[in-house]
């Protein structure tokens, strides 16, 4: 099975910072046993994702791991190439390098780094990575690189200078637009938040709690506006907006929402389960019910 065929099976996007190392390994092992293809992990202010992936890969056999995403502003292109090739080699090809420009509040605000011209900086970064020397053991196949791409220009760059894109907080309509821009051959690995609940009030409350962490970030807001939502709908978390970006309902409804991305051209969909109990509670039941092998 090729890497792209493997990714045709859904994966999971989730924070593991609330878990101990052992609990995170058990979580990854459970995803593997349920038939999920990949686990996508963020790069924020918690665990270093690369060290964590090295640990998790050593505790699993078939699960692919991906950064969703690693910020290009936090690591020089040379060390980024080193860690990607090291993880690709040591995991037996079970690693995808998701790169992105992150957000101004994180890069300029928290880290105090230059966030000007992020598209230009991404283009230069990819070229620099390509030029950097690497003399360690290489993976059998090149590590796939996908970009956190939402707007047309970043999607074009993802298609021309990397293996594909990893859109986050989008809709099947965006997936269709992305596939049209990127062409047939690029990887399109889409994140989709899901809530396995038929209680409209509870499901939308869980969705609003998740959105509250992201709604003021310009990259997401601008993309939602390109998709036809107004500032007022986003600010007030209107039902139309909520129901478009988070798939909630019974098993059939949620599976239909996931399939909509595949029908629109996604190579891979990684689901992020939202719990009606609290934003930090992992919905194990949803992962079991929605498992590819279920």
Q: What is the mean pLDDT of residues 120-125?
A: 98
Report the candidate in 288, 280, 275 with the shortest Cα–Cα distance to residue 203: 275
- Domain parsing of the chain, residue ranges: 3-289
pLDDT of residue 3 exceeding 80: no
Instruction: Name the least confident of 103-107, 112-116, 231-235.
Output: 103-107
Pairwise CA distance, residues 142 & 120, whole Å: 24
Category of 143 on φ-ψ map: left (φ > 0), alpha (ψ -120 to 50) or beta:
beta
Residue 144: burial class (beta carbons within 10 Å; 0-12, 13-18, 19+): buried
Kindly state the DSSP code that residue 105 receives in the 8-state scheme.
I
**Mean residue pLDDT across the chain:** 96
Pairwise CA distance, residues 95 & 227, whole Å: 31
Please give the CATH superfamily to which domain 3-289 belongs: Luciferase-like domain (3.20.20.30)
Quick: pLDDT tens for 221-235.
999 999 999 999 999
């Amino acid at each position: 099975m090729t890497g792209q065929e493997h990714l045709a099976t859904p994966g999971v996007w989730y924070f593991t910072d609330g878990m101990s190392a052992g609990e995170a390994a058990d979580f990854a092992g459970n995803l593997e046993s349920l038939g999920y293809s990949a686990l996508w992990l963020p790069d924020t202010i918690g665990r270093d994702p690369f060290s964590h992936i090295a640990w998790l890969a050593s505790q699993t056999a078939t699960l692919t791991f991906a950064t969703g995403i690693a910020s290009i502003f936090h690591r020089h292109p040379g060390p980024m190439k080193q860690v990607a090739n090291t993880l690709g080699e040591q995991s037996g090809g079970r690693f995808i390098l998701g790169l992105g420009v992150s957000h101004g509040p994180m890069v300029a605000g928290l880290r105090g780094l230059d966030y000007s011209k992020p598209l230009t900086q991404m283009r230069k970064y990819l070229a620099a990575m390509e030029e950097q020397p690497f003399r360690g053991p290489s993976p059998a196949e090149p590590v796939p690189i996908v970009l956190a791409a939402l707007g047309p220009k970043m999607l074009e760059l993802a298609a021309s200078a990397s293996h594909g894109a990893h859109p986050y907080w989008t809709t099947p309509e965006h997936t269709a637009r992305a596939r049209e821009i990127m062409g047939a051959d690029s990887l399109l690995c889409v994140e989709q938040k899901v809530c396995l609940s038929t209680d409209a009030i509870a499901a939308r409350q869980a969705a609003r709690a998740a959105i509250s962490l992201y709604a003021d970030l310009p990259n997401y807001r601008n993309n939602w506006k390109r998709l036809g939502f107004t500032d007022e709908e986003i600010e007030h978390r209107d039902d139309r907006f909520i129901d478009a970006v988070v798939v909630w309902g019974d098993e059939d409804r949620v599976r239909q929402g996931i399939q909509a991305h595949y029908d629109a051209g996604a190579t891979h969909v990684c689901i992020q389960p939202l719990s009606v109990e609290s934003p930090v509670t992992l919905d194990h039941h949803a992962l079991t019910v929605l498992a590819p092998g279920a």
